[in-house]
Amino acid sequence: MKRKPNTETAAAAPARAVTKEDVARAAGVSHITVSRVINTPEKVSPETRARVESFIASMGYIPNMLAGGLASRRTRIVAAIVPTISHSIFAETVRGLSEKLSEQGYQLLLGQTNYSEMEETALVEAFIGRRVDGLVLTGVQHTARTRQRLKAAGIPVVETWDLTDTPIDMLVGFDNHAAGRAMGDYLIGKGYRRLAFIGGEDPRGIARFTGMRDAVLAHGAREPVHIKIPLGSFLRSGRDAIGSLLRDHPEVDAVFFSNDVIAAGAALECIRREIRVPGQIALAGFANLELAPEVTPALTTVQISGHQIGLNTAEMLLARFNGQHVAQPVCDLGYSIIEREST
């Protein structure tokens, strides 16, 4: 006796995924042509490309980019590693990267180190293991193991947000020490003599402090106060740090913060305490983030172009992916002082 089909089981069975061969049959082309439409569309006639893309869309086909990448040694994925995604200081760089890479069909993976070099090493190894085509790092300070892994991987690498004479491969950034010195010169030039710096102990923040300190001492002013805050903490740390500074160093008349978010937290605390800015104390930030001109009073800051860092980094990577020589592997985008009401 024939058994009746189990309709409940049949209904619960998942539908079969649409394959490249299914698209090829529907479009009346070979599966190689479908692959070319996906990976090298410029090699396919516009009419055939439009027909295949139409069937890809209507059938809901999602290419297995990993399988194709393993065959061609190209995954069309770039990984970027940043210290934090908890605020906007690195967001513009990620946006610039994503915009330029996506134009050429590349996708961006993002990793967060929480300012830990060991975590950066773990992320580098994980991304290399997933066969990314290129890597973007923040800063130029890395563990020996990270450098070893990157050299062995043989893929394009771009370091960002800093400068060095010995990059791993390519670099897009600016001189943090020089930017800090420029802010020190600016504040001294405005007549401030009792300065302080508030920021974390990451290498770029320390470079900004030492730059400011060098400028202050060169002008004959006294050693600036240095208040260190936990890495990765910003608005609240800015509020807490300015409170401690006002209590322990009431003589300070100007403060340079390692980024605009910390400075904004300090500005909010000054409003709460009815401390006049810049009448009683001047505040200056770093990065010229979107919030800098919106704070009351608007923040004087060091302007750097995080978005341009992302764009230039993507252009370098794309050139290397296409087998082109990068004539200037080190790109210094510079900085400038943006004066506003807070100083």
pLDDT digits (tens, 9 = 90+) for 71-91: 456 789 999 999 988 767 899
Q: What is the pLDDT of residue 15?
A: 57
Rounded to whole angstroms, how far apart are CA atoms 333 and 266? Answer: 28
Structure tokens at 202: 């990451």
With a CB cutoff of 8 Å and minimum separation 6, the contacts of 41 are: 49
1 pLDDT higher than 70: no
Which helix (H) or strand (E) element contains residue 60?
Answer: none
Residue 65's pLDDT band, with cuts at 50, 70 and 90, is low
Rounded to whole angstroms, how far apart are CA atoms 343 and 274? Answer: 17
Give me the count of residues in the chain: 343
Residue appearing with tokens 């003599």: 193
311 pLDDT higher than 90: yes
Q: What is the pLDDT of residue 248?
A: 97
Rounded to whole angstroms, how far apart are CA atoms 250 and 6? Answer: 81
Q: What is the pLDDT of residue 179?
A: 98
Residue 231's pLDDT band, with cuts at 50, 70 and 90, is confident
Q: What is the pLDDT of residue 86?
A: 75
pLDDT digits (tens, 9 = 90+) for 132-152: 999 999 999 999 999 998 988
Collapsing DSSP states into helix, strand and coil, what is residue 78? strand
Torsions phi, psi for 243 (to 5 deg): -65, -45
Residue 130's pLDDT band, with cuts at 50, 70 and 90, is confident
With a CB cutoff of 8 Å and minimum separation 6, the contacts of 264 are: 235, 238, 285, 291, 292, 295, 299
pLDDT greater at residue 19 or residue 335: 335
Residue 129's pLDDT band, with cuts at 50, 70 and 90, is confident
Cα 138–39–329 angle (5° rounding)? 30
Question: HSE-up of 83 (CA within 13 Å, CB side)?
Answer: 24
CB count in 10 Å sphere of residue 183: 28
8 pLDDT higher than 50: no
In the predicted model, what is the mean pLDDT of residues 47-64?
Answer: 85
- What is the dihedral angle through the alpha carbons of 205, 206, 208, 212, rounded to the nearest 10 degrees? 140
Q: What is the pLDDT of residue 12?
A: 44
The answer to whether the CB of 170 falls within 8 A of the CB of 316 is yes
